[in-house]
Structure 1
């Protein structure tokens, strides 16, 4: 990004991609974020195994971020989500708790997270878990392979229906 008036660390808003028919721009998503129920079929694989297959998800939509899909805790077989130490804090959703994700001999440390006691407006997340698609074998939405959001902090799921540019990669911290 180009610095504003030459000041380091000060960035202009990027130029949003204009969505085609049937697409969404992450620049039209709200801030604070919105939770949206979805019915697409979401399938996640790890270690050669299907660890979730559901049509009961919610997406969290936030300006400049691809959607993060939250799947019901009950969609995962026993032993796949192993609670682990540590938390983080989201100014909107509250305190996140993490899971190691385990399947087929593969362990992804802190590969999933939940908000067991979310802030008002995000109650739908209390019984759901989000996963980092970059660390799974595959994540699909209605059969389409998801592209993970760039960077290691956010867990956005990019499909052909979503256009950016997306926060998360190098040079996007000031967005």
Structure 2
């Protein structure tokens, strides 16, 4: 069965832009990510999602899972759980490793569920 591949447009716009914010992600007391190089993905009327470069993530806290999802605008997403001595937060991080062309800048970056991890966004000066 073929899955739809949709192109962002006036009815469903998607923009990916460099942000001027600092994004810090924590699981309890553990810093999972800290960056000033996030990209802001604005999709339609959804809240902005910050995609963080993998090099700004403590990858020792990530454990790849078998979970995956599909977005007709972005492609296949793979997931990671965050594992700390305090416990595991399942499928709290996702990545589009081979995103569609319209959102290609998010390749090599990850995003975080704000209802599972503490994501702090501090505006730049």
The answer as to 2:124 corresponding to 1:140 is no
More strand by share: 2
Please give the residue correspondences for 1:120-131 in structure 2 after superposition, counting only pairs within 5 Å: 120-131=101-112
Q: Deviations over 1:97-152 (max 9, x none)?
A: 0111123422111101000001012111111001001111x211117xxxxxxxxx
| Equivalences, count | 114
Please give the residue correspondences for 1:36-51 in structure 2 after superposition, counting only pairs within 5 Å: 36-51=17-32
Cα 1:34–1:106 shift into 2, 3 Å: same
- Structure 1's consecutive aligned runs of 4 or more residues displaced over 4 angstroms after TM superposition are none
Instruction: Report if the CA contact (8 A) 2:67-2:91 is conserved.
Output: no
Unaligned runs of at least 5 residues, structure 2: 1-9
Which residue is 1:118 aligned to?
99
Computing the radius of gyration from Cα coordinates, the structure with the larger value is 1
Q: CA RMSD in A?
A: 1.7
Unaligned runs of at least 5 residues, structure 1: 1-28, 144-175
Q: Deviations over 1:31-77 (max 9, x none)?
A: 23111111311111113111111100011112221101111111112
Alpha-carbon distance in structure 2 between the residues aligned to 1:40 and 1:104: 29
TM-score for both structures, normalised by structure 1? 0.61
Please give the residue correspondences for 1:23-172 in structure 2 after superposition, counting only pairs within 5 Å: 31-136=12-117, 138-142=118-122
